[in-house]
Amino acid sequence: MQSAIPVTFITGFLGSGKTTLVNRLLQQKEGLRVGVVVNEFGELPIDGSLISRSEGMDIVELANGCVCCASRGDLEGALSALASSGKPLDHILLESSGLADPGPVIERLVSPPLSDALHLQQTVTLVDAANFDRNLEHAEAAYNQITHADLLVLNKTDLVSPQEVEQIRAGLELLNPSAPVLVAVRASLDLADLLAYPPRMEAAESSPSLRGEHVPHAAHGRSMTSISLTSELTLDEDKFRSWLGGLPPTVIRVKGIVKVFRAGESRDLIVHVVSGLITLEDATEIGVDGQRGVVVIGSDLDDPAIRSGFQGCIGRAEEQVVPA
Ligand SMILES: Nc1nc2c(ncn2[C@@H]2O[C@H](COP(=O)(O)OP(=O)(O)OP(=O)(O)O)[C@@H](O)[C@H]2O)c(=O)[nH]1
């Protein structure tokens, strides 16, 4: 029988760099067999498409809701699907959604039946240096993610000054004195270093001050909601960019894959918006075969306005967008 499979639980607020870290770790797995569980807040399984597939990795998607709210069976089912997916796994990376409270998930990972087959090696929390204060203000989940970490990765430090990096590092040390802080750009961590990093601290695990109660989902982030917009039709790139740029500041995150039309050609783009910072990248490399669309996450979202704005991006008048 296989001994307990080590699990690295990766948390961090919306857009902090969790998928970037998973992809970076997968690039370095060299002969290790790694299982990945990805979890989405929105209905569209975007992260499943953004994770690079390769030999020696298996992936299970836990879509439509935070892992902390998923029913017991969903998480157990996803993890046991991985554990029994063929050759024995050397490691599992469990990526949470950006709004998940890690407390209840850790609780389940360290309790039977999961603890019979898995060993939670560490909880790694990505912290977005460019949105540190704002994320803490917006959501209790951002705070819980920091306090439950065994290792904190202060990411996106290319977007702030060295002084700000030091201020945030000091803030993190106050919030979670026992977790080392690694400063990173694009989640630049070595898999070997990560696996050597601190085994989970039993003391921290049993400390009531770090536990916190699981709050109802709406309270995770000031009634944060998501809108899924799907379209297999082609969008006009300029209209789409300007729609993204005009979204209200209550929109915290947009991500997805869309087909755009420019100069007579259509192509797929990966879309990321994190607090107003828009990135559109060519999606050729990932070979899009899933559903195209975007998920918009934020508070107080004007659903009809967002849907009609997206519909207005359609490239050709005779085509119609089909909202999810
Ligand atoms: N400038 C900069 N961008 C980064 C860095 N790390 C990640 N990004 C970008 O930030 C965006 C979000 O990164 P993801 O890895 O998708 O973030 P995530 O935490 O998985 O996002 P959610 O699943 O929505 O919570 C992408 O456009 C990344 O390329 C960084 O260190 N610097």
If DSSP states are collapsed to H, E and C, what string results for the chain?
Answer: CCCCEEEEEEEECCCCCHHHHHHHHHHCCCCCCEEEEEECCCCCCHHHHHCCCCCCEEEEEECCCCCCCCCHHHHHHHHHHHHCCCCCCCEEEEECCCCCCHHHHHHHHCCCCHHHHEEEEEEEEEEEHHHHHHHHHHCHHHHHHHHCCCEEEEECHHHCCHHHHHHHHHHHHHHCCCCCEEECCCCCCCHHHHHHCCCCCHHHHHCHHHHCCCCCHHHHHCCEEEEEEECCCCEEHHHHHHHHHCCCCCEEEEEEEEEEEECCEEEEEEEEEECCEEEEEECHHHCCCCCCEEEEEEECCCHHHHHHHHHCCECCCCCCCCCC
Distance 18 CA to ligand 1 centre (A): 7
CB 90 within 8 A of CB 31: no
* Alpha carbons 135 and 131: distance in angstroms, whole number: 6
16 CA closest ligand 1 atom index: 19
ipTM of the complex: 0.99
Residue 225: how many other CB atoms lie within 10 Å: 16
Which residue CA neighbors atom 21 of ligand 1 most closely?
15
22 CA closest ligand 1 atom index: 15
Distance 40 CA to ligand 1 centre (A): 14
- Provide the pLDDT for residue 84: 74
Residue type, 157: T
Going by C-alpha positions, the residue among 296, 273, 271 that lies closest to residue 283 is: 271
Residues shown for the chain: 324
Spans of the chain below 50 pLDDT: 203-219, 317-321
**Ligand 1, pocket-test mutation among 20, 96, 153, most atoms within 8 A of CB:** 20
Q: Considering the entire predicted model, what is its pTM? A: 0.88
* Alpha carbons 241 and 148: distance in angstroms, whole number: 37
Distance 103 CA to ligand 1 centre (A): 23
- Six-digit token pair at 233? 């039709």
- Six-digit token pair at 169? 């590092």
Which residue CA neighbors atom 29 of ligand 1 most closely?
20
CA 218 → CA 81, 136, 139, 246, distances in Å? 29, 16, 10, 26
98 CA closest ligand 1 atom index: 25
Distance 273 CA to ligand 1 centre (A): 9
Which residue CA neighbors atom 11 of ligand 1 most closely?
15
**Ligand 1, pocket-test mutation among 274, 278, 294, 296, most atoms within 8 A of CB:** 274
Which residue CA neighbors atom 9 of ligand 1 most closely?
17
Distance 186 CA to ligand 1 centre (A): 7
129 CA closest ligand 1 atom index: 31
Which residue CA neighbors atom 2 of ligand 1 most closely?
156
| pLDDT tens, residue by residue, 252-269 | 999 999 998 877 778 889
CA 257 → CA 6, 156, 236, 247, 272, distances in Å? 32, 22, 14, 17, 9
* Alpha carbons 229 and 107: distance in angstroms, whole number: 34
- Tokens 């989902």 — which residue? 217
Distance 184 CA to ligand 1 centre (A): 12
- Provide the pLDDT for residue 205: 45
Ligand 1 neighbours (beta carbon < 6 A): 12, 14-20, 47, 98, 126, 155-156, 158-159, 185-187, 253, 255, 272, 274, 279
Going by C-alpha positions, the residue among 314, 274, 320 that lies closest to residue 295 is: 274
Which residue CA neighbors atom 32 of ligand 1 most closely?
156
Going by C-alpha positions, the residue among 96, 63, 104, 57 that lies closest to residue 226 is: 63
* Alpha carbons 271 and 99: distance in angstroms, whole number: 19
Q: Kindly give, in sequence order, each residue whose CB lies less than 8 Å from that of residue 51, ignoring residues fewer than 6 positions away.
A: 19, 22, 23, 26, 36, 38, 59
Distance 53 CA to ligand 1 centre (A): 18
Distance 126 CA to ligand 1 centre (A): 10
